[in-house]
């Protein structure tokens, strides 16, 4: 009887561990994300160079140096799409942000690699970003609700959304073609 | 007769209080730091000092492959792409690194990475080629990827690859042999990611940093605290009676 209970517990633990692991992974490729959100398979792309001022602003938002000298974006139909990797606790989470008229139109988690916090991939969380823009201080103009047990992933998502909005503002000022794709 | 157990309880309370104050301080300070680990950026800080690694009894991971280009070393170790002594990306395979003009291109099984002189990352991009990339090289001034029967030209401005029209005889990037010092430097960088401030403080908090005796001492300290709480309550109640 005791052995049976031990076996049962082992199977249950293994099942739970397997489930948790299965939640991490690539949910959407970059190309599929761009096609779904920009409604074209071959969107134009350009880059925003992170000069000293933007490096400082990005460091302020992310809490660490951005680790790149230029950020690529894709654009179509008056929207820009950005894909960033940001570490939640220990491993990078790949997230995509689509912006139109200075507000977020779509936020997606493309790849999640950490062992905890994958709940941020679900629509109940990501739709909180819809319609968000920047306030006067250059930060998100609304709060994002936390998810218990996924605090670091939630914070990473907030940082990426904020950075994308800041860079979108720069991109629109330097690339007039974005507006003309509308 | 009733004074004797109370006297012993008080003496033991004082003795254990003194003995456990060091552990109490350690647990309190590490606990406070762990509670604010994110704000303190502990996960991003390397704690791979030689004495810490000696306590864990770990060796640096071997360098799987390395290339030298543009005055920097591009190496794959422990699942990371390391440039000189900085981790740049997670990677399973490093296929090559070559100088293109003043910049350097590195190719992994998943990504193309462009570096500025000095090894600063300019941009990284995932490539979707119809066949698996095998190696990276240059054909004149153009960077090319060998994907078996197909050859691709890389546009570093757009960070994409298109089929090469015609090819001469590309110079393929060749793996470098590193000195012991370089291997050590790369290994320390990789260990710094795993053995970061958060992990080491957590292990110090629980006693796991000192294998064998550590958890036992942590358990004893915890039992001391339980006794101190119980005896303190007992003594307070007796005094009020």
State whether B21 and B94 are in the same domain: no
Residue from the list A29, A68, A87 with its beta carbon closest to the beta carbon of B121? A68
Compute the Cα dihedral for B46, B51, B55, B57 and give only its sign. positive
User: What is the spatial distance between Cα A85 and Cα A93, in angstroms, rounded to a whole number?
Assistant: 5
Other Cβ atoms less than 10 A from the Cβ of A34: the count is 23
State whether B109 and B228 are in the same domain: no
Q: Across all residues in chain B, what is the average pLDDT? A: 88
Specify if A7 maps to a domain: no
State whether B17 and B123 are in the same domain: no
pLDDT tens digits, chain A, 182 residues: what are they?
555 555 455 445 544 444 444 578 889 999 999 999 999 988 999 999 999 999 999 999 998 899 899 999 999 999 999 999 998 887 899 999 999 999 999 999 999 998 889 999 999 999 999 999 999 999 999 999 999 889 889 999 999 999 999 999 999 999 989 988 87
A173 in contact with chain B, both atoms CB, cutoff 8 A: no
User: What is the spatial distance between Cα A182 and Cα B5, in angstroms, rounded to a whole number?
Assistant: 86
CA distances B151 to B114, B166, B168, B170, Å, are 19, 9, 11, 10
- The domain total for chain B is 2
Confidence of residue B190 (pLDDT cuts 50, 70, 90): very high
CB-based contacts of B86: which residues, under 8 Å, 6+ apart?
B119, B189
Host domain of residue B162: 63-193
* Exposure class string for B184-211: b at 16+ Cβ within 10 A, else e: ebbbbbbbbbbbbbbbbbbbbbebebee
Q: What tokens were used for B76?
A: 């794959």
Strands (E), A92-155: 92-100, 103-112
For residue B4, pLDDT beyond 80 = no
ipTM above 0.90, yes or no: no
Host domain of residue A168: 26-180
Question: Which chain A residue lies closest to B159 (C-alpha atoms)?
Answer: A72
Specify if A165 maps to a domain: yes
Asked if the Cβ–Cβ distance from A47 to B123 is below 8 Å, we say: yes
Minimal CA separation from A88 to chain B, in Å: 10
State whether B19 and B130 are in the same domain: no
State whether B72 and B167 are in the same domain: yes
* B-proximal residues of A, 75-114, CB under 8 Å: 87, 89-92, 113
CB-based contacts of A178: which residues, under 8 Å, 6+ apart?
A75, A78, A80, A171, A172
φ, ψ (nearest 5 deg) of residue B167: -135, 145
CB-based contacts of B180: which residues, under 8 Å, 6+ apart?
none
Classified as helix, coil or strand, B82 is: strand
State whether B116 and B200 are in the same domain: no
State whether B125 and B209 are in the same domain: no
User: What is the spatial distance between Cα A134 and Cα A7, in angstroms, rounded to a whole number?
Assistant: 54
Left (φ > 0), alpha (ψ -120 to 50) or beta: where does B140 sit? left
Asked if the Cβ–Cβ distance from A64 to B125 is below 8 Å, we say: no
Q: Which residues from A are below 8 Å from B90, CB to CB?
A: 91-92, 113
- The domain total for chain A is 1
CA angle A23, B33, A159 (to 5 degrees): 50
State whether B166 and B225 are in the same domain: no
Asked if the Cβ–Cβ distance from A70 to B116 is below 8 Å, we say: no
Specify if A12 maps to a domain: no
Asked if the Cβ–Cβ distance from A70 to B38 is below 8 Å, we say: no
Q: Which residues from B are below 8 Å from A89, CB to CB?
A: 43
State whether B107 and B144 are in the same domain: yes
- What is the per-residue pLDDT for A3? 52
State whether B178 and B71 are in the same domain: yes
pTM: 0.78
First vs last Cα of chain A: how many Å apart? Answer: 69
């Amino acid at each position: 009887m005791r052995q049976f209970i031990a076996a049962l517990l082992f199977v249950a633990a293994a099942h739970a561990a397997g489930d948790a692991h299965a939640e991490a992974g690539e949910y959407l490729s970059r190309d599929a994300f761009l096609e779904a959100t920009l409604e074209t398979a071959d969107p134009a792309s350009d880059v925003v160079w992170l000069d000293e001022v933007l490096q400082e602003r990005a460091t302020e938002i992310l809490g660490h140096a951005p680790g790149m000298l230029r950020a690529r974006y894709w654009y179509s139909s008056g929207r820009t799409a950005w894909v960033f990797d940001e570490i939640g606790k220990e491993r990078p989470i790949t997230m995509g942000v689509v912006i139109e008229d200075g507000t977020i139109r779509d936020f997606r988690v493309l790849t999640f690699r950490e062992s905890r916090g994958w709940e941020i991939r679900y629509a109940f969380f990501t739709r909180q970003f819809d319609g968000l823009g920047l306030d006067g201080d250059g930060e998100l103009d609304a709060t994002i609700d936390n998810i218990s047990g996924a605090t670091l992933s939630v914070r990473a998502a907030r940082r990426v959304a904020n950075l994308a909005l800041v860079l979108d503002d720069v991109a629109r000022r330097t690339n007039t073609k974005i507006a003309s794709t509308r | 007769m009733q004074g004797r157990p109370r006297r012993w309880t008080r003496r033991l309370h004082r003795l254990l209080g003194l003995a456990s104050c060091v552990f109490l301080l350690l647990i309190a300070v590490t606990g406070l730091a762990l509670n604010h680990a994110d704000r303190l950026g502990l996960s991003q800080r390397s704690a791979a000092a030689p004495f810490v690694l000696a306590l864990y009894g770990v060796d640096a991971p071997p360098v799987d492959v390395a290339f030298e280009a543009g005055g920097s070393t591009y190496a794959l170790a422990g699942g990371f792409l390391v440039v000189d002594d900085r981790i740049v990306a997670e990677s399973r395979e490093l296929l090559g690194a070559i100088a293109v003009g003043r910049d350097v291109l590195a190719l992994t099984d998943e990504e193309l990475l462009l570096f500025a002189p000095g090894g600063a990352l300019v941009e990284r991009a995932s490539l979707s080629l119809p066949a698996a990339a095998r190696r990276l090289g240059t054909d004149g001034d153009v960077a090319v990827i060998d994907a078996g029967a197909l050859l691709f030209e890389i546009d570093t401005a757009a960070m994409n690859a298109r089929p090469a029209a015609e090819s001469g005889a590309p110079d393929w990037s060749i793996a470098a042999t590193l000195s012991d010092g370089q291997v050590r430097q790369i290994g320390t960088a990789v260990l710094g990611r795993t053995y970061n401030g958060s992990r080491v403080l957590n292990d110090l908090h629980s006693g796991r940093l000192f294998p064998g005796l550590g958890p036992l001492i942590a358990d004893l300290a915890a039992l001391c605290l339980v006794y101190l709480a119980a005896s303190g309550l007992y003594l307070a109640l007796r005094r009020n009676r």
